[in-house]
Amino acid sequence: MNELTMIEAINQALNNQMRANDQLFILGEDVGANGGVFRATDGLQNEFGMQRVFDTPLAESAIVGMAIGMASQGLTPVAEIQFMGFIYPAIDQILNHAARLRNRTRGRLSCPLVIRAPFGGGIHAPEHHSESTESIFAHIPGLRVVIPSSPARAYGLLIAAIQDPDPVIFLEPKRIYRDGKQAIEDDGSALPLDSCFLLREGIDISLISWGAMIKESLEAATQLAKKGIDVEVIDVATIKPLDINSIIDSVKKTGRCIIVHEAAKTCGLGAEISALLAEKSITSLLAPIQRVTGYDTVMPMFKNEQHYMPSSQRIIQAAIHAMEYR
Amino acid sequence: MTSKDSNIELSQYLNSDGQLVQPLPSYLDDRTQLIALYQTLLITRLFDEAAVNLQRTGLLGTYAQSRGQEAIGCAIGKAMLNEDVFIPYYRDIATQIQRGVLLEEILLYWGGDERGSCFSQQKHDFPLCVPIATQFCHAIGVAFALKQRAQNNVAVVTGGDGSTSKGDFYEALNIAGAMSLPCLFVINNNQWAISVPVQQQTAAKTIADKAYAAGVTAMQIDGNDPIAMLTGVKHALKQIRHDGKPFFIEAVSYRICNHTTADDATRYMQQKDLQEATQKEPLVRYKKFLSQYHAWNDDDDSQLYQTCQQSVDQAIEHYKNTKPQADGEFFDYMYQDLPADLAQQKQAFLDDLNRHE
């Protein structure tokens, strides 16, 4: 049992699955000798060779397209896109092919691939390196979109993603790559891809979040407890397909719901969760659903990124508002 | 576009009058082989004509014709081994037929039914690819997988001249060269990307020239010359199996038809150019060759014509008699296992259907 950061847990999960499955290949930019710009693939080329862990030319569409071709013939590719801000050249491949190959061929060919990409703000990165556009992918039938929020969930969810028979977009909140360690048994255990994780039980408010915002949500919950407000925190983790039932169960208990995400507000996943709650559970609400999110602006460059990203203070304000609502 | 001003030479065996401009390659000494090649062209042409008619009568959706370009696909299909993998674009029924995809499966696809891509043969081939040039990237992934398997197989991918303007084309070609992948690229240069002529797509002297920048060996072939095409593709595949490196073929042809049944080429194609191109088309040329060198006569021709037409007619009957998909089948292949929320949507769809029936 080792104490690992999230980035180390990701590395461990990749290593574990490379050992378990000799048809698994890692491809991307700088994933080889360099071990990835965040070191997610550190040491893997040394251990498993240049055939199985290889640097591609700098071409995102071809990285994903190539992974689709590999997956169609029975290999298990894990492709890295260096930053989510650079995934867009590959959108054509992801939407038009990875998500559709099984359906187009009525299951004759399938696309068991994982596309990993660091995402989100908070590390003072250059322009285009800090966006959170997960809901673009959550909109697309045929994909799974998975976002870990702790080292242990990164390990278990990545293993599940690699073992999943369909394409998975695995988005890694890079702000918490090295934010604390957790003890992880490297036993290859997968976590479920079809359910939320209940991180903290409470009876007053349901805080629904994922990725790096889990940190802010838990912090807010701790602060609110001091004010006597008992907050439940749910990590959605797999945002597509969405486990709405767990969220509904929580809101039925608390009657209040705040959704927290770093992505822009309009058409963010919070909108979908709000709509589903309204459709399926509106009578259990004691206060309006609130969304604490990034703004509908371009993600500011790093001098202002802290003003864009939801803080625990904004979450606390929303919680107080919910409790005071009559 | 011709090879004028380029370092690339156009490979040709038959001129447009069907006369040999160089001796036949020895593998074609056998007359039955030559006739078998003709049969592949003929069945493609008859299928193509039938498909257009089916579309006109409302039995097919929009259909992309291959008239005048049959020699390219037939050559690819005949030259490939079973265990090679074909990654087509949408104008590739000639190759599909030679790969063993059933004519009724091709009709199902163009008739708006996904089951047409669930090939009963060639389980590893890709379905027709509609988004332009994306297939080149799949092909290098397939080639990578084939290289891992080390059984000397080749990924064969096709595209049109317009597709060579896209990023995916360059990205894939570049990676194939850089990673030394067993991949054959064949470009059907039919001179038109819907209404835009190839001269407006590029200032490159030939399409084949584009491969040189990626360090990939390339040749240009008269795509209306079935013998040059078959010989060229065979040569390319042999070369790839020998050295494991990618190879590029530009097949120069002409689209003597509309882009698809939804297109009207008279809006942009000059009648004079079309007539000129029609003089050079592969079927007429090959028939002239057979009659000049192999005593092929009109009786032989009409007999073979009938045989091929029968196959097409049978396929149309099979197609017409195909049972529709089960209600809600379109939900079933989004994921290996239907997620809970999607299962609910499917149930709601079925309930709705029952209410209205």
Q: Which domains does chain B have, with CATH numbers?
A: 10-325 (3.40.50.970), 328-357 (no CATH)
Residue A180 has pLDDT above 50, yes or no: yes
Report the distance separating Cα A226 and Cα B108, nearest Å: 66
Per DSSP bridges, beta strands B196-197 and B192-193 are antiparallel
Digitized pLDDT (tens) for each residue of chain B, 357 residues in all: 444 566 778 999 999 999 999 999 999 999 999 999 999 999 999 999 999 999 999 999 999 999 999 999 999 999 999 999 999 999 999 999 999 999 999 999 999 999 999 999 999 999 999 999 999 999 999 999 999 999 999 999 999 999 999 999 999 999 999 999 999 999 999 999 999 999 999 999 999 999 999 999 999 999 999 999 999 999 999 999 999 999 999 999 999 999 999 999 999 999 999 999 999 999 999 999 999 999 999 999 999 999 999 999 999 999 999 999 999 999 999 999 999 999 999 999 999 999 987
A2-184 falls under which CATH superfamily? Thiamin diphosphate (ThDP)-binding fold, Pyr/PP domains (3.40.50.970)
Write down the pLDDT at residue B1. Answer: 46
List, as ranges, residues 14-43 from A with C-beta within 8 Å of B. 25
**What fold characterizes domain A197-324?**
Rossmann fold (3.40.50)
Pairing of strands A144-146, A238-240: antiparallel
Which pTM was predicted? 0.97
Q: What percent of chain A has pLDDT over 70?
A: 100
Mutation pick from A102, A108, A194 vs chain B, by most beta carbons of B within 10 Å, is: A108
Q: What is the pLDDT of residues A4-56, one digit of tens each?
A: 999 999 999 999 999 999 999 999 999 999 999 999 999 999 999 999 999 99
Q: Going by DSSP bridges, is the β-strand pair A197-200/A168-173 parallel, antiparallel, or unpaired?
A: unpaired
8 Å CB contact between B228 and B222: yes
How large is the ipTM? 0.96
Q: Rounded mean pLDDT of chain A?
A: 97
Give ranges for CATH 3.40.50.970 in chain A: 2-184
In chain A, which residue's Cα lies nearest the Cα of B181?
Answer: A66
DSSP conformation class of B69:
-
Q: A166 touching B, CB under 8 A?
A: yes
Q: Does A92 touch chain B (CB under 8 A)?
A: yes
Q: Which residues of A touch B215 (CB under 8 A)?
A: none
* CA-based torsion, B115, B121, B123, B124: positive or negative: negative
Residues 38-57 on A with a CB inside 8 Å of B are: 51, 54, 56-57
Which pLDDT does position B128 carry in this prediction?
96
pLDDT score, position B357: 73
Please indicate whether residue B242 is annotated as part of the active site: no
Which regions of chain A carry the CATH code 3.40.50.920? 197-324
Tell me how far apart the alpha carbons of residues A171 and B184 are, in angstroms, rounded to a whole number: 35
State the burial class of residue B323 (Cβ atoms within 10 Å of its Cβ: 0-12, 13-18, 19+).
exposed
**Beta strand A144-146 with A168-173: parallel, antiparallel or unpaired?**
parallel
The whole-number pLDDT of residue B5 equals 60
Over 70: is that where the pLDDT of A264 sits? yes
Q: Which residue, B187, B191, B250, is CA-closest to B221?
A: B250
Nearest to B341 among A62, A109, A241 (CB): A241
Three state DSSP letters for chain A: CEEECHHHHHHHHHHHHHHHCCCEEEEECCCCCCCCCCCCCCCHHHHHCCCCEEECCCCHHHHHHHHHHHHHCCCEEEEECCCHHHCHHHHHHHHHHHCCHHHHCCCCCCCCCEEEEEECCCCCCCCCCCCCCHHHHHCCCCCEEECCCCHHHHHHHHHHHHHCCCCEEEEEEHHHCCCCCEEECCCCCCCCCCCCEEEECCCCEEEEECCCHHHHHHHHHHHHHHCCCCEEEEECCEEECCCHHHHHHHHHHHCCEEEEEEEECCCCHHHHHHHHHHHHHHHHCCCCCEEEEECCCCCCCHHHHHHHCCCHHHHHHHHHHHHHCC
- In this complex, which of B115, B137, B334 lies closest to A69 when CB atoms are compared? B137
* A80-87: average pLDDT: 97
Q: Which of B27, B56, B268, B333 is catalytic?
A: B268
